Structure 1
Amino acid sequence: MSGSRGIVGEKWSQKILWICAIGSAISLYLVGVERQTQNRFQKMADDLDDIDYSEKSGGDGT
Protein backbone atom coordinates (compact mmCIF):
# COMPACT_ATOMS: atom_id res chain seq x y z
CA MET A 1 0.00 0.00 0.00
CA SER A 2 2.77 2.45 0.81
CA GLY A 3 4.51 1.48 -2.45
CA SER A 4 1.64 2.77 -4.58
CA ARG A 5 1.62 6.02 -2.63
CA GLY A 6 5.26 6.54 -3.46
CA ILE A 7 4.60 6.07 -7.18
CA VAL A 8 1.69 8.53 -7.13
CA GLY A 9 3.77 10.99 -5.14
CA GLU A 10 6.63 10.64 -7.58
CA LYS A 11 4.32 11.28 -10.55
CA TRP A 12 2.90 14.36 -8.89
CA SER A 13 6.33 15.69 -7.98
CA GLN A 14 7.44 15.20 -11.58
CA LYS A 15 4.38 17.10 -12.84
CA ILE A 16 5.07 19.91 -10.38
CA LEU A 17 8.69 20.01 -11.51
CA TRP A 18 7.62 20.32 -15.18
CA ILE A 19 5.09 23.03 -14.32
CA CYS A 20 7.80 25.00 -12.50
CA ALA A 21 10.25 24.57 -15.39
CA ILE A 22 7.67 25.70 -17.97
CA GLY A 23 6.64 28.61 -15.75
CA SER A 24 10.26 29.70 -15.40
CA ALA A 25 10.78 29.51 -19.17
CA ILE A 26 7.66 31.62 -19.79
CA SER A 27 8.80 34.15 -17.18
CA LEU A 28 12.23 34.48 -18.77
CA TYR A 29 10.63 34.94 -22.19
CA LEU A 30 8.34 37.68 -20.87
CA VAL A 31 11.26 39.46 -19.19
CA GLY A 32 13.14 39.40 -22.50
CA VAL A 33 10.16 40.81 -24.38
CA GLU A 34 9.72 43.56 -21.76
CA ARG A 35 13.39 44.53 -21.97
CA GLN A 36 13.22 44.66 -25.77
CA THR A 37 10.19 46.93 -25.54
CA GLN A 38 11.91 49.21 -23.04
CA ASN A 39 15.04 49.38 -25.20
CA ARG A 40 12.94 50.22 -28.27
CA PHE A 41 11.16 53.05 -26.43
CA GLN A 42 14.46 54.34 -25.05
CA LYS A 43 15.99 54.36 -28.55
CA MET A 44 12.98 56.22 -29.93
CA ALA A 45 13.22 58.77 -27.10
CA ASP A 46 16.95 59.24 -27.75
CA ASP A 47 16.30 59.69 -31.48
CA LEU A 48 13.64 62.32 -30.74
CA ASP A 49 16.05 64.11 -28.41
CA ASP A 50 18.68 64.11 -31.17
CA ILE A 51 16.15 65.56 -33.63
CA ASP A 52 15.09 68.26 -31.15
CA TYR A 53 18.71 69.15 -30.43
CA SER A 54 19.62 69.41 -34.11
CA GLU A 55 16.58 71.61 -34.79
CA LYS A 56 17.42 73.92 -31.87
CA SER A 57 21.05 74.18 -32.91
CA GLY A 58 20.12 75.04 -36.50
CA GLY A 59 21.25 71.78 -38.08
CA ASP A 60 19.36 69.95 -40.78
CA GLY A 61 19.08 66.73 -38.75
CA THR A 62 21.52 64.68 -40.80
Structure 2
Amino acid sequence: MSSMVAMPPMPASDRWLRWHAADGSVVPTGAERAERERARAERLAAQLRALGVEPDESGS
Protein backbone atom coordinates (compact mmCIF):
# COMPACT_ATOMS: atom_id res chain seq x y z
CA MET A 1 0.00 0.00 0.00
CA SER A 2 1.40 3.40 -0.91
CA SER A 3 1.14 6.37 1.39
CA MET A 4 -0.05 9.70 0.07
CA VAL A 5 0.72 13.07 1.54
CA ALA A 6 -2.01 15.67 1.44
CA MET A 7 -0.79 18.98 0.04
CA PRO A 8 -2.47 22.25 0.94
CA PRO A 9 -4.29 23.91 -1.97
CA MET A 10 -2.16 26.31 -3.99
CA PRO A 11 -3.29 29.89 -4.51
CA ALA A 12 -4.42 30.52 -8.08
CA SER A 13 -1.49 32.92 -8.61
CA ASP A 14 0.97 30.04 -8.04
CA ARG A 15 -0.55 27.77 -10.67
CA TRP A 16 0.96 27.69 -14.13
CA LEU A 17 -0.27 26.25 -17.37
CA ARG A 18 2.54 25.82 -19.91
CA TRP A 19 2.19 25.15 -23.60
CA HIS A 20 4.34 22.49 -25.22
CA ALA A 21 5.23 22.18 -28.90
CA ALA A 22 4.58 18.96 -30.80
CA ASP A 23 8.19 17.91 -30.16
CA GLY A 24 7.66 18.25 -26.40
CA SER A 25 9.65 21.45 -25.93
CA VAL A 26 8.15 24.11 -23.66
CA VAL A 27 6.85 27.19 -25.47
CA PRO A 28 8.38 30.24 -23.74
CA THR A 29 6.11 32.84 -22.16
CA GLY A 30 6.04 36.40 -23.45
CA ALA A 31 8.29 37.50 -20.59
CA GLU A 32 10.75 34.69 -21.32
CA ARG A 33 10.85 35.61 -25.01
CA ALA A 34 11.38 39.28 -24.15
CA GLU A 35 14.25 38.45 -21.78
CA ARG A 36 15.87 36.19 -24.40
CA GLU A 37 15.61 38.97 -27.02
CA ARG A 38 17.03 41.58 -24.58
CA ALA A 39 20.02 39.32 -23.86
CA ARG A 40 20.52 38.73 -27.60
CA ALA A 41 20.49 42.49 -28.26
CA GLU A 42 23.06 43.04 -25.51
CA ARG A 43 25.35 40.35 -26.98
CA LEU A 44 25.08 41.86 -30.47
CA ALA A 45 25.77 45.38 -29.11
CA ALA A 46 28.88 44.07 -27.34
CA GLN A 47 30.09 42.49 -30.59
CA LEU A 48 29.59 45.78 -32.43
CA ARG A 49 31.48 47.70 -29.73
CA ALA A 50 34.34 45.18 -29.99
CA LEU A 51 34.50 46.07 -33.70
CA GLY A 52 34.59 49.79 -32.88
CA VAL A 53 30.97 50.50 -33.77
CA GLU A 54 28.75 52.22 -31.23
CA PRO A 55 25.22 50.83 -31.58
CA ASP A 56 22.49 53.43 -31.99
CA GLU A 57 20.20 53.25 -28.95
CA SER A 58 17.38 55.13 -30.71
CA GLY A 59 16.79 52.31 -33.18
CA SER A 60 16.93 54.55 -36.25
Shorter-chain TM-score tier:
0.3 to 0.5
| TM-score normalised by L of structure 1 | 0.43
TM-score by length of 2: 0.45
Query: Higher helix proportion, which one?
Result: 1
